[in-house]
Amino acid sequence: MAVPKWLIIARNEYLISTSSIRKIRQIFPFLVIIFLGVYLGYIAPRIVDVLLDDFLLFFLSQTALTMIRLILFMFFLWFIIFPIANTLKFEHMDNKELLLSAPLKSSDLLMGKFLGQAPIYCIFITLITGFFTALLIPLGIDMLQVIIIVLAFVLILLSAEWIGILIASILRTRLEKSARGKDIGKALSMIIALPLIALMYAIIGGGLMDAVESSGTSTPVDNLLMMLPSTWGANIIMDFGLNPGDISSVWQDTIINFGGLAFFFIASLWIGSKLADRVYSLEAMGFSSSMVMRDGYFYKAIKKIGGGQSFGILLASAFKDYSRRYENLSKIIYIVSLMIMLKVFFGSDDAESPLDAVILLFFIFSLLAAFVVGEVTLRGKEALFIFKKAPSGEGKLIKTRLIMGLLIILPIGVLITLYSLIIIPQISIIMILGYTAVMIIVVMSNVASALGIAILNPVYNEKESMVNVMIMAMIVPQISLMSLIFLDDPWNIIIIIVTNCVLGALLLSLGTLKLKRME
C-alpha cells in the first residue's frame, strides 16, 4: 500500500526541524521521552513544591479563574505566533515549487507540515502540562481528571499550532510574491510577539492580577476570554481543582468544555483543509516594483554629515540600504518597545541613584547596537567584497557603518536616558547631564564593539546572527559593569567609561584586521 502523501511531507518536515541534531536524530525521541519522564516525575513536582502554599491560596482566590484563563490564553497565543514568526523569516524558500509540481493535494502539504512539526510542539506541550498537573495532583485530583487535563492541553495547543501554521502559510503566500512583501513578513516576524510579551510582563510585574482582583469576578476581560478555547480548558482546570477526585459533580461542565475543545480542534482541522488550496499558490499577485524618489532633505543632510563628496554618498547609500528594510526598522521598534514595557511594568520611580535608573540601559543599548550595526555582514560575503575590492575599502566600510550606527542609536539612547533620569525625584540638572554624557560614551563604545564583533565573527544569515547579538547583549555589558562589584562612586563610573572605550576600540581594531584578511 502506498504511503499517504501527508505522511511523506510530515516525515520531511520532521527531518528539516531536526536537521541541526541529525547526528543524534535516531536516539532523539528516546532522549526526549527520558527527559520528559524525569521532568514529569521529579523536576516539575520539586519546582511546584516550593510554590504549593502560594498556589493553594491563589486557587481559592477570586482572581484564580481569570488568571488561569489569561495564562492559558498566553500559551494559546504563543503557539499561534511561533509558527508565524518562524515562517515569515522566509528561511526555507526554495522548496515550494518543488512540492507544488509533485502530485500532491494542498491539504496533504498543510497536514504534513502540521504533523511533522507536532512532535517538537508536543515537547513544549508536555512541559507546560506537566507543570500544571504537578500543581494540581497535590490537591487530590484523580487519574481521570489528570488525563482529561492533559488531553485538554493537547487539544488547545495543537489547535493553536494548526491555526498558526495555517495563518503563516496564507501570509507567506501573500507576502512572498514581492521583495517588499518578504520584507514586511520579516518585520512582522520580529514584532508579532510584542503583544504577547506585553501580556506576560503585565501578568508578572505589571499589576494585571491586582487590576483583575479589584474589578471583581465578571470583568470585560472575562467576557472576552469566554470566546476562546483556551478558556474552556481553564474552566476544566478550575472545576477539577475545586472538586478534586470528584468528577461526578462537574461532569456536565466537563463534557461541555471538553466537547467544545474537541469540536474546535476537529472543526479547525476541517476548515483549514478546505482552505489549503488558497494557502499554496505560486501565482503572482502583481508585478509592481518599488520606485524611489530622488534624494530629499534627509539624505542630502546625511551626505553633508559625511562631508559631501564620495564619503557623503557612501554614508547616504548605507542609510538608504538600511532604512528601506522594514526588517531593520522592526528590530529598532522591538527593542524600544521592550524598553518601554520594562519601564512601564517593572520600572521603579524611586531609584536610589541615577546609576540604578540607567543600569538596565547598558544591556538594552548593547542589544540595539548589535541589531543595528551587526547586520553589516547579513547581505553576504560578496557584499563585503565590494568594499574589499575598492581602494582602502575596508576602512570606508568601517567608517560608514560606525557613523551610520551612531546617527541611528545616539538619538534613541539620549532620549531614553533623559527620560530614565528625569523621572527620578529631586535629581539635579548636573546629574542628568553628567549621566547622559556617560551614556553617550557607552552608546558610542557599544556601536564600535558591536561592529567589531560582527566582523570578527561574520555571519551571513539572520539565524546565526543571534550568536553575535547574544555576545554583545550579555557579555559586553557584564564586563563593563564589573567594577560595580568592588568600587563606589565616582570610581565605578570612571572604570565603566574606560572599560567601554577600551572594549570598543579593541574589538573594532580586531574586526578591521579580520576584514582586511578575510578571504
Q: Residues in the site for another protein, rule: CB under 8 A?
A: 178-180, 288-294, 309-314, 317, 320-322, 324-325, 379-393, 396, 519
DSSP code at position 280:
S
Burial label for 289, CB within 10 Å (0-12, 13-18, 19+), is exposed
CB of 20 vs another protein, minimal distance in Å:
25
- Residue 487's alpha-carbon distances to 421, 482, 495, 500, 518, in angstroms, are 22, 9, 9, 16, 41
The nearer residue to another protein, 178 or 492, going by C-beta atoms, is: 178
CB of 183 vs another protein, minimal distance in Å:
8
The nearer residue to another protein, 174 or 180, going by C-beta atoms, is: 180
Dist CA 208 CA 67 (whole Å): 9
- Locate all alpha helices (DSSP H) within 324-475, ordered by sequence: 326-341, 354-373, 381-389, 393-422, 429-456, 462-470
CB of 388 vs another protein, minimal distance in Å:
5
The nearer residue to another protein, 45 or 185, going by C-beta atoms, is: 185
CB of 322 vs another protein, minimal distance in Å:
8
The nearer residue to another protein, 26 or 289, going by C-beta atoms, is: 289
Residue pair 273/113 in contact (Cβ under 8 Å)? The answer is no
The nearer residue to another protein, 218 or 309, going by C-beta atoms, is: 309
The nearer residue to another protein, 3 or 292, going by C-beta atoms, is: 292
Return the exposure string of 19-54: e unless at least 16 CB atoms fall within 10 Å of the residue's CB, then b. eeeeeeeeeeeeeeeeebeebbeebbbeebeeeeee
CB of 87 vs another protein, minimal distance in Å:
20
Q: How far apart are the first and last CA of the chain?
A: 53
Quickly count: other Cβ atoms within 10 Å of residue 130's Cβ: 22
CB of 317 vs another protein, minimal distance in Å:
4
CB of 328 vs another protein, minimal distance in Å:
9
The nearer residue to another protein, 18 or 317, going by C-beta atoms, is: 317
Whose cell is 494557502? That residue is 279
